[in-house]
Amino acid sequence: MKQLFLIGSILFTTTVLAKFNNESEVSLMKTGGNSDSATYGLKSKSDYTLDKNLFAFAAAYNFAESNEVTSTENWKFGVKYNRELFTSLGLYLGELVESDRFTGFDKRYNSDLGLFYSFFKSDKTELKAELGYRYTIEEDLIGESENYSKMRLFSEYSLALNENVKFKYWLEYVPNLTESGQYQLSMEPVVEVVLAKELFFKVSYEWKYENTPVAGKSKQDYAFKTSLLATF
């Protein structure tokens, strides 16, 4: 009986000390008549904090077709572990798997290891950054694969303009260490407007640039989205 009580106490204490957050969003558009098209976007991210440890999970899927011809289809799934070492400095370890056949690759496996740093954080504003090493295994559309060593630099700034409007902007730069001169650059400004408690209207513009794309592909991709965002 004492052992059961002890186990129950440990589980209860862990639940109380831990903090769970989730953000999920959906964007849909369907047209008919003279133009038959459909666009879908799903995105979700969660994090679980326990003491100085943070476990994060993220997933996204985008699909678009016009007159029954697919024009966009990509997805990604990632897991990440953060360990706070000091007040503003910590270590992160992550794995990101992504796919985008219209960009020219079937799957891309990214393994990350690095440091994160918080420059400042308050109820209204926050600025943070990450610097680390990335090892990538990329599979093309015919089944061949290449391995790359990369560096990853990431920063994110958020600002609450007022009680109902929040602005966020992130920037990521990934230079290729194996193939000198190659790099990827991504950014996304976001505006979120409160509709109701834990429900937001979100507008975002995601831009991606790769200076040496697959032959026949564009160097840049962009996505302008309006979506509904729910948090808990």
CATH number for the domain harbouring residue 39: 2.40.160.40
Higher-scoring residue by pLDDT: 222, 7 = 222
Assigned domain for 13 exists: no
Higher-scoring residue by pLDDT: 14, 31 = 31
User: 52 falls in which pLDDT band (50, 70, 90)?
Assistant: very high
Q: How far apart are CA 208 and CA 13, in angstroms?
A: 43
Q: pLDDT per residue over 70-114, tens digit each? A: 999 999 999 999 999 999 999 999 999 999 999 999 999 999 999
Q: Which pLDDT value is given to residue 232? A: 84
DSSP state of 51: T
**Spatial contact of 89 and 98, defined as CB atoms under 8 Å apart:** no
Assigned domain for 130 exists: yes
Query: Is the model's pLDDT at 2 over the cut of 80?
Result: no
Q: Could you count the other beta carbons within 10 Å of the beta carbon of residue 184? A: 18
User: 16 falls in which pLDDT band (50, 70, 90)?
Assistant: very low
Residue 97's Cβ-side half-sphere holds a number of Cα atoms within 13 Å equal to 6
Q: How far apart are CA 129 and CA 153, in angstroms?
A: 8
**Spatial contact of 54 and 79, defined as CB atoms under 8 Å apart:** no
Q: Which pLDDT value is given to residue 9? A: 45
Assigned domain for 4 exists: no
Assigned domain for 12 exists: no
Q: How many domains does the chain have?
A: 1
Query: Is the model's pLDDT at 11 over the cut of 70?
Result: no
Assigned domain for 5 exists: no
Assigned domain for 175 exists: yes
Whole domain around residue 227: which residue ranges? 19-231
**Spatial contact of 75 and 99, defined as CB atoms under 8 Å apart:** yes
Which amino acid does the sequence have at 71? S
* This model's pTM is above 0.75: yes
Assigned domain for 7 exists: no
| End-to-end Cα separation, the chain, in angstroms | 36
Assigned domain for 216 exists: yes
